[in-house]
Structure 1
Amino acid sequence: MTDNKGPQRLSRPSYGSISSPPNAGPQQAPPEATYLSEKVPIPDTKLLLWVLLWATVLGLLCQRLAARLGVVTGKDLSEVCHLYYPKVPRTLLWLTIELAIVGSDMQEVIGTAIAFSLLSAGRIPLWGGVLITIVDTFFFLFLDNYGLRKLEAFFGFLITIMALTFGYEYVVARPAQGALLRGLLLPSCPGCGQPELLQAVGIVGAIIMPHNIYLHSALVKSREIDRTQRADIREANMYFLIEATIALSVSFFINLFVVAVFGQAFYQQTNQAAFNLCANSSLHDYAKIFPMNNHTVDVDIYQGGVMLGCVFGPAALYIWAVGLLAAGQSSTMTGTYAGQFVMEGFLKLRWSRFARVLLTRSCAILPTVLVAVFRDLRDLSGLNDLLNVLQSLLLPFAVLPILTFTSMPNLMQEFANGWLSKAITSSIMALVCAINLYFVVSYLPSLPHPAYFSLVALLAAAYLGLTTYLVWTCFIAHGVTMIAHSSHQHFLYGLPEEKQKGEPSG
């Protein structure tokens, strides 16, 4: 391969992220799928924008069901799971959600470490940034002493920072609005393969974090609602839906800003062009992170921040890093509260938030710091890719229970899901499960060693077994009486009143 080291400049595509790349010539390697650690994927094709939109819509449907469950029953999703599921399934369910929380916290650690590296102009190494995240844990615990409302205000402040910083990048990049709208509203993906599938699976998991569904069902309980008055319940459901719609709309636009900026500035650019651009800018010291070849540049959140600085000036780099830092802190808050609620609900264990944060952050920091010390940035980004996909693979363990319980008339009374809501949510969930299954099967041949097959087979058996059980109970809750075993009649007729406050059988 002959490297082209002549002067090049970055061209401005009309909107790279919404058109599939042409087949690379012999000098180009296929672009790799990478994702923002703060739950926002990096785009390659038009696949991303409409998947991003519909993943957000699915997230809104799930949050609507979660809020409705909490408002009507006065219990969060994990508490209802504890009442209705036998011991083994509910324990496995708890473990999957804890895994999702640890995975999310690892992403926060990765993003925060990269933000510190960018803000310090590389003086803080990645492993140092990982260790610094221990400090922000104590800062969060300090704020927790001032109550939930203060934390909500701080969370709103972080969201505002993200909106302003990523919005600034969007205004500076000036993507083509018409092409952006076509990518959002016209689903298509000609010539898509495994890389695009990886992106699609990662987007769904990145937008709809499984533990956030459990969290949302618990947070609504902090509001005083007179559950003896149907009108009050109906009004609360309406306002929580409005609140969720506003929150997810803001989240969607933040995600869209990032996808648009990366698609506009970096799509189909070569490493050589990126090297030349940075070498001729005030950030010339960063040019060495781009190999001098004609391969398509693989932009992760670190290289993305550098490229923004090279293209739009140093201010863009630092604003990007501040946005990453804010996103990381908000992720820490949601993960901590979700972990506490699911532990109390599933296991009836009440830990202090300090103990919860210590456990989750310890599990997150150890593997991340090992990768940061002994591997390189590309491996850290690769770890982040897997974590996004992990969230999608674990999504059925949140969506299937919430769909099951909100469809039970004996539990939800007149607020149970109607046939249209059942049909839409069930269809989307079936599609997500099918995509996840196809993803796992299609990537099995890429395992590095045959010994991994035994481990994967064991995990796959547990995964499919739990998923099958949840689907079975979901069918029972939807009225399929012919498959209801005597030990699961409560999914049809509800629990006896004395068990509503006690231990479930099994």
Structure 2
Amino acid sequence: MEEPKKENKHLDHYYEDSEIDTYFSNNKVKIPVTEKSGFNFRKLWAFTGPGFLMSIAYLDPGNIESDLQSGTVGNYRLLWVLFGATVLGFIMQSLATKLGVVTGLHLAEMCHRQYKRIPRLILWVMVEIAVIGSDMQEVIGTAIAIYLLSNKIVPLWAGCLITIIDTFTFLFLDKYGLRKLEMFFGLLITVMGITFGYEYVVSGPNSMDVVKGLFIPMCKDCDSKQAVGVIGAVIMPHNLYLHSALVKSRDIDRKNPERLKEANMYYYIESAIALICSLIINIFVVSVFAFGLFQKTNGDIVSIIEYNNNHLGNISLLT
């Protein structure tokens, strides 16, 4: 005989108001029903997606540039900062998912309900400035990357236009289904993992130095500003708004405490897996540039590139 559902009267007003028509109202992913309780891979797969969409923010051009600078300037000494920032990011993302799962409201909706008009407007302006500041470096960084990869054929202004166009392309992708969008971004993360992992294996940095950098807090002769930059690149406030909204894409019975507990558990697992993947990729980037560029001047790098081009057939300067 099926057990009666337990009601949570304390949150009933949230459940009722969150039933209004929203972005995910007609596109929610169904959660499979199983007879046995406990962990189930089918349910984990159903909940998998929001964490990987969120983890893209941990692998954006700002993070890669921060990793490059961290390895070039600080060698392996700032890897523990990256590790700690990712752990802190996981804690904050978990709180964001819990808010979305339990209340059925994302962080922006909750702020709108709980704050008065003036604090609400100030918060909105601050977040908009943060998003604009983040997007500016993404657009400019991508334009510079296209300029370099095209051997200066594509000018910076054209690179900015290409970046704007591909941004709108990604926005329209979800019209083909949320799961397809999640899989596409999962594919992008996989490509990043393979390519940066290949660079790590080819360059061959000292594994013990990498491990020490990860687990032994040290900052001797390192730039404290660079450490702050690592934290700022990893933890971004607008990502909390995103994650708290993405978890609403799953069809969860929020009036049943058991279903809420189950959803939170699977989201914690999925977020942990996604952030572990992003952490590994970031470690690859820091380690490769620490091995190849630490304590090297611009003249040293130019000499290495010229030697590789003339004698070794364009082998990477990091090998």
Which TM-score band applies after superposition, normalised by the shorter structure? 0.7 to 0.9
Paired position in structure 2 for 1:133: 163
Which deviations, in whole Å up to 9, do the C-alpha atoms of 1:207-236 show, x marking residues without a partner? 111111111111111111111211111110
Q: How does 1:438-453 map to 2 (within 5 A)?
A: none
In the alignment, does 2:284 pair up with 1:260? no
Question: What is the CA distance between 1:198 and its match in structure 2?
Answer: 1.6
Question: What is the CA distance between 1:246 and its match in structure 2?
Answer: 0.5
In the alignment, does 2:186 pair up with 1:156? yes
Q: TM-score, normalised by structure 2?
A: 0.74
In the alignment, does 2:61 pair up with 1:37? yes
Which deviations, in whole Å up to 9, do the C-alpha atoms of 1:357-409 show, x marking residues without a partner? xxxxxxxxxxxxxxxxxxxxxxxxxxxxxxxxxxxxxxxxxxxxxxxxxxxxx
Question: What is the CA distance between 1:190 and its match in structure 2?
Answer: 2.1
CA contact (8 A) 1:67 1:237 kept: yes
In the alignment, does 2:109 pair up with 1:102? no
Paired position in structure 2 for 1:90: 120
Q: Secondary structure at the match of 2:308?
A: coil
Q: How does 1:84-233 map to 2 (within 5 A)?
A: 84-192=114-222, 196-233=223-260
Q: How does 1:354-503 map to 2 (within 5 A)?
A: none
Q: TM-score, normalised by structure 1?
A: 0.48
**Gaps spanning 5+ residues in structure 2: where?**
1-59
Question: What is the CA distance between 1:148 and its match in structure 2?
Answer: 1.8
Q: Secondary structure at the match of 1:268?
A: coil
Separation (CA, whole Å) in 1 of partners of 2:249 and 2:61 = 30
Separation (CA, whole Å) in 1 of partners of 2:141 and 2:310 = 21
CA contact (8 A) 2:139 2:164 kept: no
Task: Report the more deviating stretch, 196-205 or 211-220.
Answer: 196-205
Separation (CA, whole Å) in 2 of partners of 1:155 and 1:283 = 39
Question: What is the CA distance between 1:311 and its match in structure 2?
Answer: 4.2
CA contact (8 A) 1:282 1:310 kept: no
Question: What is the CA distance between 1:37 and its match in structure 2?
Answer: 3.3
Q: Secondary structure at the match of 1:145?
A: helix
Question: What is the CA distance between 1:282 and its match in structure 2?
Answer: 2.5
Question: What is the CA distance between 1:243 and its match in structure 2?
Answer: 0.6
Question: What is the CA distance between 1:78 and its match in structure 2?
Answer: 1.0
Which deviations, in whole Å up to 9, do the C-alpha atoms of 1:108-166 show, x marking residues without a partner? 21332132123212222333322221221232244232122221111111111111111
Q: Secondary structure at the match of 1:309?
A: coil
Question: What is the CA distance between 1:105 and its match in structure 2?
Answer: 1.5
Alignment RMSD, CA only?
2.0
Q: How does 1:10-89 map to 2 (within 5 A)?
A: 37-40=61-64, 41=66, 42-43=69-70, 44-45=73-74, 46-89=76-119
Q: Secondary structure at the match of 1:269?
A: coil
CA contact (8 A) 1:56 1:207 kept: yes
Match of 1:275 among 288, 302, 305: 302
Name the amino acid aligned to 1:146: Y
Paired position in structure 2 for 1:236: 263
Question: What is the CA distance between 1:275 and its match in structure 2?
Answer: 1.6
Question: What is the CA distance between 1:47 and its match in structure 2?
Answer: 4.1
CA contact (8 A) 2:292 2:317 kept: no
CA contact (8 A) 1:37 1:110 kept: no
Separation (CA, whole Å) in 2 of partners of 1:58 and 1:252 = 12
Alignment coverage as a number of residue pairs: 252
Name the amino acid aligned to 1:257: F
Separation (CA, whole Å) in 2 of partners of 1:118 and 1:309 = 15
Q: Secondary structure at the match of 2:176?
A: coil
Name the amino acid aligned to 2:61: S
CA gap 1:142/1:219 in 2 versus in 1, 3 angstroms:
closer
Question: What is the CA distance between 1:65 and its match in structure 2?
Answer: 0.5
Separation (CA, whole Å) in 2 of partners of 1:208 and 1:103 = 14
Question: What is the CA distance between 1:98 and its match in structure 2?
Answer: 1.4
CA contact (8 A) 2:90 2:275 kept: yes
Separation (CA, whole Å) in 1 of partners of 2:227 and 2:237 = 16
Separation (CA, whole Å) in 1 of partners of 2:260 and 2:160 = 44
Larger RCO (alpha carbons 8 Å, 6+ apart):
2
Q: Secondary structure at the match of 2:61?
A: coil
CA contact (8 A) 2:288 2:318 kept: no
Name the amino acid aligned to 1:37: P
- The percentage of counterpart residues that share the same residue type is 54
Name the amino acid aligned to 1:82: H
